[in-house]
Structure formats: structure tokens, C-alpha cells
Structure 1
Amino acid sequence: MSEQPVPTAPAGPRAAALSDRPLPRLTTLPPPWPGADVPVRGGHVFVRHTPWRGPVEGDGRGAPRERAVYVHGLGGASTNWTDLAALLAVRFDGWALDLPGFGRSQPPPRGRYSIRGHAGAVVDVLEHVRQRPGEAEGQPVHLLGNSLGGLVSVLVAARRPDLVASLTLVSPAMPVYRVPPAFSRALLLLLLPGIPSLAERRMAGIAPEQHVRAMVRMCFGDPRRVPRQRIEQAVEEMRERAEQPWADRALTRSMRGLITSYLRVGGTNAWRMARSLRMPSLVVWGDRDRLVDPALAPRLAGAIPDAGLHVLEGVGHVAMLEAPEPTARAVLGLVERRDVPMSRAAAAAPRSVRP
């Protein structure tokens, strides 16, 4: 009798390649990048631009110059990407948007804060960025999203792969069917009629300083890593946001839209969409994430074909804020890995011969 082969355990997700290229030294924290309104369906969103600076080591002639779009999470803003965009400027011209109703962006049409609506705004910004004159005009754009913005980016990449050169997901809010310990179970009440309005009134009574302290405790693996300057900027931003009559509505209604999206089945389910992705992809997660379970990291990296996985020790939910340099090295590693087969293909392509 022949022996039966011993089944082998399935291989885990591929470890992300990390770039060793020189990066800018952020000896002083850059201020928020300037921005302007960009038209999207039904209105405008505010978009900050981080200009390409080229290689740190010198002459940028012939160096890659591509484009990237950054999408923040629930309760966040385009300023969440300030430091990471500064590091990635060695390769990218970057655009970070405020989703409708967040940061300096106006509310969406009819006040509908659905995941699909946010995805539509991101698609419009990607098309705007792709069409801008310049070296990378007409080329797909690198898309990076965190938390809610990560979930939105999965939907965008699945529906419009022609717009996306690569996809980086930082602790994306993928569907789960239990409430994270950091959340109150009362959040589930947002699904009930009338409850979001009550939540908005309660949130309006929270002082900006108190709100920022709570967010730092919840989102960072080690709150002591947050520079005082960034805390002061966040408080000022929260004060500015408190003056907008739609601010609390945007947060509670987007949370409701997020929870509602988890109930989708079939082709519109985010996990099924993730399995359909074919562009180079990267999953970045902090192992101290209190908002989205880090156990989802290998599951998601395993669901997306050939995605790289980079888990950051001691980091929480917003790796681009808490650990911008390790995050930048993983993103650059992704696109540099993508460069290799492209350069080989170019070398193997037949060259035209002039008569």
C-alpha cells in the first residue's frame, strides 16, 4: 500500500519588500500641504498637493515621477498624510483629499454619506489627477487608503482598475461582524432611525481638546510618539471643524454607512472585491490596532492575489502618522518591485529600426 502524501499547510501571505533608498529626514515636521477645491459629482472636495522632489541623493533627471492619491479614515482629514506624503515625494506627486463632509470639503449631495458615495468622490479625484498635464499624464495613479479610506479604496480599485497603478491599504475597515473592544456597542444603534441625530447632538458637546485626546488614545499604539506640534495642529483643526454645521453629521452618518456596507453580500461585498484585485497591492497594519483587529491583516493579504504584508510592531491604527518612515519604505518597496518586471519587459521588447 502506497503512503498517502502529508498535506502541507497553505503558505502565508508574502512579506512586503522594503525599499532601502535614501529618504528625506524630517528633522522639522512639515506643515499641512496647501490645497484647493476639485470638482466631483454633485460638488467639490478639498485636495492637498505634495509636489514631487525627486531622489534625495541628487539629480532627478530620469528618475520615476508618478502620481499618488491618499484617502483618510473616519473622522480624519487630508492632513493625516502630511508626513508620509513628504517622504514619498522622492517618487510621487501626491494628492490627499478630504472626503465629502470632512476636513474642508463640503457635504455630499443630499447629505448621503454612503461608502459608494465616498468611492465616487475618490474616482472623480483619481480621474482629475490622471488628466493633469505633466510627465505622468494619462497614467494610472497609486492609491493609498487608511481605515474607512482603505475600504473605499478597495471598492474603487475593484470597480475602476484602469485608474489604479498600485493599492496600499493601511488598517482598512474591512467588514467584520463583531464590535471591536475600543468601540461602544451603542454605535450599532446608529442603524436605527433617529439615533444618528441624537449622536450628533451629544458629539457637539465634546470640546476639541477632549476629542483629540480620545482619538490619540484610540488610534495610536503609543500615544507618547505623537509630537506636541501634531497635537496642537489636530486641536486647531478640530476647532475649525466644529464651526462647520455638518461636521458631526458627517461622522455619524459615515459610521452608519460603514456599518451598513458590512451587511452587503454577493459581488458588492468588500472581501469578494478584494479577491478580484489584480494590481500590485500592499497591506500595512499595526499590531496594536484597537479599532480594526490586526488578525485581519494576514487574512486580507491572503485574499488579494500576491499582496505584500507589513505588520508594524507597537503601532496602532494610523501607521502613516505613527510610523511614516517604515510605511514609506513598504510603499516604495511595492512600486520598486513592480519596476523590475516592467524593466525586463521593456528590455525584451523588439526595438524599431529606422531605415
Structure 2
Amino acid sequence: MPEAARARTRRVPAPPTVAPSSTARLSSVPLPATDPPPPPWPGEQVPVSGGTVLVRSTPWAGRPGAPRERALYVHGLGGASTNWTDLAALLAVRCEGWAVDLPGFGRSSPPPSGSYSVRGHVRAVVDVLEHVRAQPGEAEGRPVHLLGNSLGGLVTLLVAARRPDLVASLTLVSPAMPVYRVPQAFGRALLLVLLPGVPSLAERRLAGVGPEQSVRGMLQMCFGDPARVPPERIDAAVEETRERAAQAWANRAVVRSMRGLITSYLRVGRANAWRLARLLRVPTLVVWGDRDRLVDPRLAPRLATTVPGARLLVLGGVGHVAMLEAPEPVARAVLGLLEDAGTDGAGTDVGTGAGTGRAAG
């Protein structure tokens, strides 16, 4: 047979198939009332590599005989453990909660090295996970449910890929997955933080923004409908921002973490987050608001399809911080995942649950 003919008859390997994501199943379990909004949960300093971080604890509030598990919450860039106050209160029907202030954020001191790399945040979260898992009680020694938003979403995905023994399930709320196009909400000037000397200038500019102005800007950028934010939450955010402004390292943590995030996007090969997402084997829920101005909502189905067996919840009218803006549907989707993944006989295999998959915030 001529070479050209043989070439035409050669079999071309089919591309690998990826199981499509399923829509999230929303649990019908009764949830506690959160009106008025609960105050921030108390916290304690927990040792991590090279220092300590503040970790807030939410007590279990389930009914007798209900499952008692553990969850760790990881905030996004410029956020804090208090971003999870409402969701942790709702999930307390099943999970004791721990919410961490990443190094340099909230009430956590900066890392002694001065580095705010994504890898450094991953190490800190692994240390806290090991601390949470070791706490005495019914769930001692068991893997922990891990939830992250934005930068915290990227960090938790990397943790779950590298230390699956620590992770019972993974919930990603608008995770900062690698992209190569700057969101319009940031502006292209943001890329200047990669240049030598520019981060210090950015820190000085941030220092000139007052607490009220900072909170107003955050509401416009992060929420789909800022008018829905309770006044108590706005007042608390202003007070928290004022407290943080007194920290010498506060603006440095934001700018240098942003630089570390963008630098992480340049990684190729096995360290790339999209590649690692394909290797995840823990039950996973992807949550996104369709008005997210910081991380493109079009990434939501891509990520949910990339992670084997992942579920997807898209929230209409919601922005970048769905756990703050729409905590109840997020809680019900998380509980649906945990029920189906658990051993309490409450559901089906992960990835087969039926549900709306889309809800109004």
C-alpha cells in the first residue's frame, strides 16, 4: 500500500472524554435563622509554618443523631475569615466550622519571610487543615470539608490536589483560576504590580483610600446587587477596614498577594491549576454568580466540566462573593453535596444528583 494511502487509514486517537458536570442538588434540611445576621465567630491563633494565623470557630448546631463533620473556610484577596460568618452559621447544622485569616489578612500577622506567594498560602491552609483534623471530638482524624472563594478558591483547589488525604469535599466559590485576560473591573494597570518598585507605589495609593470609600468600592465590585447587603454587614465591614488600616502590613499583603496570584498564572506543566483540576478525586461543587465582575462567569461550566464528577451552581443576579450575597442557596448546595457524599444514607452517588443548578440570589 502506498505511504499516502497508509496515512489515510491510520487511526487517530480520540481525544479523552470528560464527564459533563451535573447540576447541584439543593438540600431541603431545615436551616437556622440568620436574621439578624450573626456576629463574627470567636477566634484563636493557630501555629503554621513560620508563624501563626487567626482561625475563627463556628460550633456544631445539628440535631441529635445528625452527622457531625468539620469544615474549613478560606477567604479571597483582601477578605478575611469574617466573609464566611453567615454561611458557616447555616452549615453548622452539619459541620463544625473553622475560618482562617490567611497570613497578612484579617487579624493574622504577615509571614516572616515577607512572601505572599500562592504556595505560601497553600502551606498555611495545609497546616490549619492538619490542626482542625487533629482536634478532639467525634470527627477527629477524618478529612475536612474545604471551601474557598476567589484567591482562597485557587488555594483550596491546589490543597485538594496535593493533599487529598486531608479533604473530604471541595467547594469553590468563584475561584481565581488562571486566565490570561485582565478583568475589566481591574484595569490593565493592575499588571504593573509585576514590575520592580511598582508594588510599593500601589501600597501607598491603597493607604490613601478611607474605610468608607474602600467598602463602597468593594460592594460595587464584588456584589451583583449591593442594595441587598444588610446595613449591619456594611457597618461591620467599615469597622473591620478601619481596624485593618492601622496594620502596617495590610496594604502590602493585598498588593503582594495579587502579585503572587498573577505570577502563579504563568506556571505551566503539572503545576498549572487547570491541569491539577483534572486530577481531583474529591466530591466537588463549583459555585458562581452570573454577575461576577472579577472572575468571568463563563469559567464556571469549564471548571465544573474539568473536575471529574463536579457539580455546578450558577446564581442569578449574584456577584463574586456568593457566600456573602446568597448564603442560603450556597448552603443548600453544599449540604446536598455532603449528604450525597456521606454515609448517612441521605442521598445518591456524587455527581448524579438532580437539581436546578441555577438559582436566584
Does structure 1 residue 172 correspond to structure 2 residue 172? Answer: no
Shift of 1:342: 7.1
Give the partner amino acid of 2:66.
Answer: A
Aligned to 1:51: 59
Secondary structure (helix, strand or coil) at the match of 2:175 reads coil
Q: Equivalent of 1:157, from 160, 169, 188?
A: 160
Give the partner amino acid of 1:229.
Answer: E
Residues in 1 aligned to 2:306 and 2:25: alpha-carbon distance in whole angstroms = 18
After TM superposition, the structure 1 = structure 2 runs for residues 1-355 of structure 1, keeping only pairs within 5 Å, are: 12-55=20-63, 60=64, 62-339=65-342
Unmatched 5+ stretches in structure 2? 1-16, 349-361
Secondary structure (helix, strand or coil) at the match of 1:241 reads helix
Cα displacement string for residues 114-150 of structure 1 (whole angstroms, at most 9, x for unaligned residues): 0000000000000000000000000000000000000
Contact 2:71 2:145 in 1 (8 A): yes
Secondary structure (helix, strand or coil) at the match of 1:111 reads coil
Residues in 1 aligned to 2:291 and 2:261: alpha-carbon distance in whole angstroms = 22
Contact 2:147 2:172 in 1 (8 A): yes
Cα displacement string for residues 86-124 of structure 1 (whole angstroms, at most 9, x for unaligned residues): 000000000000000000000012110000000000000
Aligned to 1:6: none
Cα displacement string for residues 164-184 of structure 1 (whole angstroms, at most 9, x for unaligned residues): 000000000000000011112
Contact 1:12 1:298 in 2 (8 A): no
Secondary structure (helix, strand or coil) at the match of 1:284 reads strand
Secondary structure (helix, strand or coil) at the match of 2:57 reads strand
Shift of 1:288: 0.4
Residues in 2 aligned to 1:224 and 1:332: alpha-carbon distance in whole angstroms = 27
Residues in 1 aligned to 2:18 and 2:308: alpha-carbon distance in whole angstroms = 14
Superposition CA RMSD, Å: 1.6
Residues in 2 aligned to 1:129 and 1:27: alpha-carbon distance in whole angstroms = 29
Residues in 1 aligned to 2:221 and 2:331: alpha-carbon distance in whole angstroms = 23
Cα displacement string for residues 68-87 of structure 1 (whole angstroms, at most 9, x for unaligned residues): 00000000000000000000
Secondary structure (helix, strand or coil) at the match of 2:342 reads helix
Residues in 2 aligned to 1:321 and 1:50: alpha-carbon distance in whole angstroms = 16
Give the partner amino acid of 1:103.
Answer: G
Residues in 2 aligned to 1:10 and 1:34: alpha-carbon distance in whole angstroms = 43
Residues in 2 aligned to 1:249 and 1:342: alpha-carbon distance in whole angstroms = 48
Normalising by structure 2, report the TM-score: 0.90
Residues in 2 aligned to 1:215 and 1:227: alpha-carbon distance in whole angstroms = 15
Residues in 2 aligned to 1:44 and 1:335: alpha-carbon distance in whole angstroms = 30
The alignment-based identity, stated in percent, is: 74
Residues in 2 aligned to 1:65 and 1:289: alpha-carbon distance in whole angstroms = 33
Give the partner amino acid of 1:67.
Answer: R
How many residue pairs get matched? 332
Shift of 1:11: 6.9
Give the partner amino acid of 2:107.
Answer: R
Cα displacement string for residues 220-267 of structure 1 (whole angstroms, at most 9, x for unaligned residues): 000001011100000000000000000000000000000000000001
Secondary structure (helix, strand or coil) at the match of 1:94 reads strand
Shift of 1:63: 1.3
Shift of 1:339: 2.3
Shift of 1:158: 0.5
Give the partner amino acid of 1:168.
Answer: T
Cα displacement string for residues 31-74 of structure 1 (whole angstroms, at most 9, x for unaligned residues): 0000000000000000000000103xxxx1x2100000000000
Unmatched 5+ stretches in structure 1? 1-8, 346-355
Normalising by structure 1, report the TM-score: 0.91
Contact 2:149 2:172 in 1 (8 A): yes
Contact 2:283 2:310 in 1 (8 A): yes
Residues in 1 aligned to 2:343 and 2:225: alpha-carbon distance in whole angstroms = 36
